Structure 1
Amino acid sequence: VNLILSQPNPEFWLILFLCLIGFIFSFYQVSDQKKLRPIIFLRGILILILVLLFLDPKVEVTTKNSNDMKWYLYLDRSLSMSYHTHPSVGSLVSGFDQILEKIERKNVPIKIFGFGSDLDTSWTVGDKQIRDGSTDLGQVLNHIRSNEKNDLAGSVIITDGQVNLGAEIPSENLNINSPIHIVGVGDETPLVDVSIHAIDAPPVIIKGENADLDVTISSHGTVNERLNVTIYSGKKLVGSKVVTVSGDGSLERVRFRINPTQSGEAKYRVQVNALPDEINIQNNKQIVPIQVLKNEYTIALITGAPNFNTQVIKQIISKHSEYRIDHFIFRPNGYTKNLKSFWDTKYDLILFDNHPIEENAKEWQSYIRIFAKKLVSHQSSLAIVVGNETHEKSLASFLGLMDMTLNKPLIEFGSPYEWELSPRWDKFFPFHIINFDNMDLTNLPPILLQFEVDSSQGIPLAHFSISDVEVPLLMVGEKSSLRFMVWTSPELNTVYYKTRNSQVSDLSQQIFDPVFSWLMRTGNGQDYYFRSEKNSYQQGERVTVKGKAIRDDETIMEGFVHVSNNGQRINSKPITYDDNTGYYTGQFWASKSGQLDYEVEFIHGDKSMIVNQGSVQVQESQVELNHVYLNKDPLKKLAELGDGTFRHWDNRLSLISQINPVTKLETFYSKVVLHDSRWLVMCILGLLSAEWVLRRRLGLM
């Protein structure tokens, strides 16, 4: 404890001199009265304290404390550590216990951690299993950084350096001040492993078109072999190629060309033969699902009476080479094409154009039951574009197949009315938004209304706005497997021709393209297709999901892939778009074993939609078996950056000389300014109170 006083000035000495004279004078005045001496004594102390305060007194207190610093020992408990030929699992466990015993003999405080995919202290309670599915060395370094202020003397890491989760082993800027010693486990020559690293294949193709599957084969260890890579479709061998692998993490690529002849989901099995010394053969086979779309969609166009809409409809359909039309036109002596072929042929879409009419209404009324059976058995969709000659009663019968009815008209049908697209359009076709800059879509050519259809069983996508009443113009819907469309105006041609030289010259095409595509399920009900590079991954691997739009004009720049396990979302990653390839790509880590479900969400403007869903199977712990060797060079670099040493497992006991007790001596300084001390104030008040009590007892008050 030190008392620090400021340098006294002349004023201080003057005040001190006057106080002393006053004190001595008072003392001699009452020298013969012993009862008053205590009061004089208390006043003298009080005067002394007040005079000392002029010197700005400070009290400095110094205390010292010593703490024994701890050493942290980290043991890699990942699966690869148990597959080294030297040391074996038993030797590893006993060798680690031997290190602990020798350190404890030196009375060095230690704390033990096991690490793999997570960091834990279960080794100290008897859990000595070596079986974690992955290795995250980054969390060990983060743990060291966060504990350097907690009396950490240094760290020892026992590992083979096979990092397959989290950050890579740093090669610079470690930002750790305490020493890090590393004991490397295993041989530097990797064990043999061959796997299918990735399969680059389109998620969706057209039936009959050629598609390439690029298969990447990875190999580890000392190997120089010719391997057979085969691809099967079911039990049928599609192709086989020989590839030479050279090990040491090399990647070899082979290409197969496929030409699927059936639409639907095609599953191809790709496999590479296993080597005799291979310990992990689960990664030698993968399944590739590819969605095969039809290359031709057939449309039956049935025209009851000649009208101007017919050519417009055919013009819209002809823009798509995959659409084929069988046109049946009613004539007084029959049809331009035999109706027998209509009943025998399976159509994706049956389109009534101004049909039925008065002249053939009775005939088609007799067909209503067999027509309904055809729709169901052939899974055909129905579209109706009314005309001026469309027979109302017959139309009502065919609308009844879709549980739709005609309303009694509340307005006059002879006059044209304004119409507009419904807000429901954007919800029904979120990626077919009709958007024209500087164009008011409510200012469209007025057209006639022929029939008023009840909208309760369908979804109006365009409507007339008449006296604040919305009357359906274009309506779609679905009953069980039957999809249908109704256009209620005979003046489709008016929309087509009166907008040709305007900013909306392709309005009719933009309206009916997505509608016809939806009716015929041209994308098999989807606008985008995504698939993972493989169907089976190993825990700790990176999963890549690639996708493609069915139509080239659908490009979304913002999206996410959301990953779930057992219904619980565990991750979300952004999706990027490559202008050169036309593919969307998203990546995430296979962090948990079992089935991981993913869904792709696209954001367009202020709207979002899940466009695709899928799943991958994740095998537990097997990624560790792909790299069973000592990753020496990065570990040596890490030890150098940490001001520590690197040694092999066989030389582990030499580490004991580096681990010694470390004591941290801490000195604490505290300073008390007496001016600000409440204890001094209390002392002064105590002296004044004591004097008051004495004076009262002596009768001086």
Structure 2
Amino acid sequence: MEFMPTIRFAGDLPGGVVLAIALVAAFAVMWYYARETRTMASPYSYLLPALRAAAVALVIFILAGPVWHRRQEIGTLGKVTFAIDTSASMSMTDSTGSDASESRIRRATRLLVGTPEHLGLVDQLSETHDIEVIGFGAAAPVPLWTNRDERTLETSLQLIAEDRRTNLASAVSAAIVDVESAGVQSPLDATANAPVNNTPRANQDESPDDEQDSGSPRVRSAIVIISEGRHNLGPSPVDAARRIASSATQVMTLGMGSEDEPVDVGIAQVIRPDSVAADGRLSGKIIVKQFGMTGKPLGLRIEHQNKIVWQHTITPDADGEFEVPYDFGVEPLVEATQQATVRGVSRDAVALDLRAVVDGGVSPGAVEIDSTAAGKMMTENDSMPFRVAASVRDRRLLILDGSSRWETRYLRNLFHRDPAWRVDTVLYGPGTDIPNVTRGSEPGQFPADAEAISQYDAIILGEVPADQFKHADAALLRQFVSRGGGLIVVDGRYQRVRKLVDTYLSDLIPVKYSGADAVIDGAKIVPTVTGGEQPMMLLRQSDNSDITSVSEMWSRLPQPQYVNQVEPQAGAEVWANTTGSSGESTPWLVTRLFGAGRVFYFSSDQSWRWRYKLADELHARFWNQVLSAVMQPPYSASDSFVSLGTDRVEYAVGDSSLIRVRLQGPTGKPLGDATVDALLVNDDRVVATVALSIDDPSRGTYQGETQPLEPGAYEVRIRASGFDSTALQATTPIWVGTPNHAELRRVGLDKNALMQIAQAGKGSYFHESSADKLLEQLKPLSSGSIIESDVLIWQSFYWFWVVIALLTAEWLLRKRAGLV
């Protein structure tokens, strides 16, 4: 196959610069020459200057060094894609001291580019293979170079290893797309079209020019993943490798670095709640990783505004990760933060900007000792900032039920004792003090309108009598949730919730009932994979966040005696299941977003049994986490005219922030017809403007969502028509891109992971020290070659004769015109 020839430039000056100079010179020659020919007849008046100008331009263009390049492929080329990991762990040097070796990414680049003494992998394959080099980290892979590029490989591979996560599957997936777009025949297609051959192969290691096996196409392409093998983002790379192997493409892996973890101590993760009461205590845990510092005291502390609010010293007895619980009161921190609040602005939620720090080599009573003295390689993971919203305003909870069952009693008592909550309980129906429900805005009444129900942050809906439930009640609940309220449905044994689903709330409650026998004997509650990843499902501070440890804790809980048999509706997520004594399984916890709010459904009302011998240790923690997960944060700041809030105070890069605003006039009347914008301010500069849409004109509420956010600390301000810029003073902070240290939790070579990927991709694993063996595996992929040739146009006689021809034609025309 021969490709269209291309023009390249080998001169000292860029081709574009030389072309500009040649054009300017040609124009000057024509202008000067035209003074002599302007009185002559056509075509001499313009043809003579044009011929002279063209000759001058060609002579000047020699400075660009034009080269006529031809590329011809003979036979069938193999395709090799080198995928280089550009995550932060590839910046490690695998050594300490002043004589530190090159980083992993520099060594990987050198393997491809080569040295003056030794050709690189690319140079040794470029004449027989179609080669591509890509870089990958947390985002989609980026093409870096192909052997069709005019740029040199060394110029294209000036890489910096700085990505905070590694997605090994993304590199494999990029090759999958490339293979599918190229129309590579799959083994299944090949089997269908291949002739029948029942002759067994005597030797599986025969020449690579033979078929790999009966009915399978010969492998013509391969992807080589150059990495230390630490995968911490995205789907399984083993599954991706298995998929690409079915497309007749091998997956090779080249391991970089040492399997030994370098000496290091750092913060791996800070587990904390999203919000806490302003007069409460902040509890969580710090996950610390350390290698090579066993037996040495480590100092841990949490800082707020450069002041230590909690500290602890621990001496690890083994390498690896360990958890350190923390607990401290936040009331002094809230007061210190509020002192900086602008006069005239009140805050319902205060964002606490905290930082966890670990000091290596700290002795009891000492403040800090240089941790690099022990050969510590990394310092960027010594600290981790995190933020928590402290709620100043009391939260309001409404409990609706048709009887005073044990679940309702304990939930009411739990939140009634909590000073951060105001609880209203409405029990009505046969057998209660209120046989027939009354509607209104007073305590003990079912909310009668949107204003009455909007006072609550969350509602727990139990087995209320369906015959006393109206379509207007259902509409109020839908409106409440769609505008950001949280709804928790706790089902029971009397089938009343089922009647509500069948008649009024089928679109709101995220389950449907199956069969006549709707109640089964309960058994152990088992979180699903999705549920196990939710902070809400952690029952102890010491729980790990992986699904195995979470499931183990849940399996120890007292079993519910009965569970309603349900199925999740479309779009709903099951966070926990339970299996009956006869083996039948049914969801226990189902959730779904509804408008701006969320709904939780529990198929049993037996969580009160968790209090046996443990009191509130598990029961209270779980239900506080449920309420935090189901509710939207309150408006964080308010002034005389506007209330402002966001759904979170901390976001990952690329997330969007939901901004909520309530606007009122000087008399306190809601304004539902204004044009409202949210401004994102960074360093006193407006970096984004978000147009807010009207949510409820009668309440003067607006909301809008930002574009994907870039890293940084922002302040959200409001601009509204009819208001001076100084009138709306309420602001709220948000943070984007808090450092994620998942990439640095383990940085040693994960040989087993790379071997599994290669095995799934029907390829082989090699260490960087054995790159020559990798080369021997890649060479047989190709049965063709690439012939490239260059003609130095600017040195050829063709260019010279063109210039002579132009000048000769000009001389002949001048003679004919009588100028010679």
TM over 0.5: no
TM-score normalised over the length of structure 1:
0.43
Relative contact order, CA 8 A, sep 6+: which one is greater? 1
TM-score normalised over the length of structure 2:
0.37
